[in-house]
Amino acid sequence: MLQSGDGLRALTGRRVAVVGAGPGGLASALLLARAGIHVTLFEKDAQVGGRTKTVSAPGGYKFDIGPTFFLYPQILADIFTSCGERLEDHVKLERLDPQYHLVFEGEDGITGTIRATGDIARMETEIARLAPDDAKNVQAFFTENRTKLDYFKPILQQAFHTLRSMASPAMLAALPHLHPGRSVDRDLKRYFADPRVRLAFSFQTKYLGMSPFRCPSLFTILSFLEYEHGVYHPVGGCGAVSEAMAGLAGRMGVDIRLNANVERVLFDGKRASGVVADGETFNADAVLINGDFAKVMRALVPERHRPRWRDAKIKKARLSCSTFMLYLGVEGKVPDSLGHHTILLADGYERNIREITEGTLPMQPSLYVQHAGYTDGGMAPAGHTALYVLVPVPNLKAGIDWAATRTSYRALILERLKRLGLEDLESRIRYERIIDPTQWEEDFAVHEGATFNLAHDLMQMLYFRPHNRFGPGLYIVGGGTHPGSGLPVIYEGARISARLLIEELAGARAASQAGIPDTAPLATSGEAS
């Protein structure tokens, strides 16, 4: 741990409470410890990672609970490097090729498939089987989005807690490339006429819990990131990354307290001054919260300390969709055609997405299947298969009676899986766990079961999203704050929040000495949120 320099010496003896050991909390703890701050990390569960964890099930099966792959690991690698370590010495990341298997459904059955790959020549060949003219435009799509990402990256690294930040040099430079009035699908129509090809470059908006027909066009960079920089499987599951982060944090002096339930944040006037955990007071110079924004902030922070996000505003916030999950331990093998990641894109995909957005449970849903054993033999015992099945569904605001629907919807999903060659699945299931939207809320503290947090529409992004510096001495990190959802974006958010916290305690010089990249210039006066 670096302890030299005037800025870092100013942090000696400073204490920060981090609430939640999800990916954002772990990354923040590493960066704060690197700066010389004494960090105590409180996690209510018995295992770190939040939803980014891998669980063992009876029968020897292992399942990721939430995220099932890694994109753009460079940000996390940079965080490890700033701590004097190499990510590859802690976690083995396998780059997948093909990245996933896309299966397109039509009125009369399967109308085509794409084995998506970052090899552009092969991807052009895959697309040419469906739409020869569209294949000619793949390179142009890549060229434009490479430029778009270059302009948007500084925005992802910038804090947005004043209106003036919306007119930062980075924002002004990026605007001509972002086309905020277009949706992802509309933007892609400039390159691809076949709706199936557009879906190959737009289904990724599901990572934000949004529709490609509504999601702002800047998010075409999601598919570009996959194809340009790869889709990775952490050997042992995504929880291996969380465990590696926690292990490094512990060696750096972070006090990780599992099974520790934080009941509320304490304030000295307007300033956060600690937390109460399991009935005991923990005093701190600052508090950083990692959790589902709408759920955890209402639970821990009194309304008077969140004037821009009072209960009424949170209640009216636009939320992402939810997911219906099946975790299946299966005796025997599955067809090799399934691949590591497989997505069944339903006939009438736009109608399917509209149903979810409008609160109707789709009866012909799209779905995603992870067969991690395709790459990683450690996810199931010999001769068995672990399957992770995700179905986008409306969040709890739709009022669906899941207690009455759960069994029939499970049967519908098993029937849908036959489209992917899983004909005899029911009789071979030896372990099963279902998570529906009610359980996302009750068991995982996800507000309204909205798995991907606040929606990423234009009025809930950047300055209009909950701020990283939420108030004096109070910071947040995770999918509900800027920059948004998705592991690499959350890690970037951790860098923003950690830097702002260090700057508040000891000035910009300390943040620079701690190895955290500078944010774009912005005003810092006044209460953040």
Which residues face 432 on adjacent strands? 328
Q: Is the pLDDT of residue 7 over 70?
A: no
Give residue 508's pLDDT. Answer: 58
Give residue 54's pLDDT. Answer: 98
pLDDT band at residue 522 under the 50/70/90 scheme: very low
Residue position matching structure tokens 């990683």:
376
Q: At the topology level of CATH, where does 6-51+61-92+236-317+452-513 sit? A: FAD/NAD(P)-binding domain (3.50.50)
Stretch 497-502: mean pLDDT: 96
pLDDT tens-digit readout, 310-358 = 999 999 999 999 999 999 999 999 998 899 999 999 999 999 999 999 9
Let me know if the fold of 6-51+61-92+236-317+452-513 is the same as that of 321-449: no
Instruction: Say whether domain 321-449 belongs to CATH 3.30.519.
Output: yes
pLDDT tens-digit readout, 73-122 = 999 999 999 999 999 999 999 999 999 999 999 998 999 999 999 999 99
Give residue 314's pLDDT. Answer: 96
pLDDT band at residue 181 under the 50/70/90 scheme: confident
Output the average pLDDT for the chain.
92
120 to 117, 128, 389: CA distances (angstroms)? 7, 12, 28
As given in the structure block, the two tokens for residue 406 are: 């759960």
Q: Is the pLDDT of residue 489 over 90?
A: yes
Residue position matching structure tokens 């004096």:
472
pLDDT tens-digit readout, 111-163 = 999 999 999 999 999 999 999 999 999 999 999 999 999 988 888 888 988 88
Give yes or no for a contact between 39 and 25, defined as CB atoms under 8 angstroms apart.
Answer: no
Cβ-based neighbours of 68, under 8 Å, separated by 6 or more: 238, 341, 370, 372, 388
pLDDT tens-digit readout, 370-403 = 999 999 999 999 999 999 999 999 999 999 999 9
Least confident of 44-53, 175-184, 236-245, 289-298: 175-184
Instruction: Give CA–CA dist 186/334, Å, rounded.
Output: 37
358 to 338, 391, 399: CA distances (angstroms)? 31, 16, 11
As given in the structure block, the two tokens for residue 272 are: 């956060």
Cβ-based neighbours of 182, under 8 Å, separated by 6 or more: 216, 217
Instruction: Give CA–CA dist 224/150, Å, rounded.
Output: 12
* Pairing verdict, β 70-71 and 231-234: antiparallel
Which residue did the predictor score with more confidence, 4 or 231? 231
Q: Is the pLDDT of residue 57 over 80?
A: yes
106 to 132, 195, 250, 347, 362: CA distances (angstroms)? 19, 12, 52, 5, 16
Q: Is the pLDDT of residue 5 over 90?
A: no
pLDDT tens-digit readout, 425-482 = 999 999 999 999 999 999 999 999 999 999 988 889 999 999 999 999 999 999 999 9
CA 134, 138, 140: angle at the middle one, nearest 5? 115
Give residue 229's pLDDT. Answer: 93
As given in the structure block, the two tokens for residue 516 are: 């955290």
| Domain boundaries, given as residue ranges, for the chain | 6-51+61-92+236-317+452-513, 97-229, 321-449
Give residue 513's pLDDT. Answer: 65
Counting Cα atoms < 13 Å in the Cβ hemisphere of 25 gives 31
Q: Is the pLDDT of residue 180 over 80?
A: no
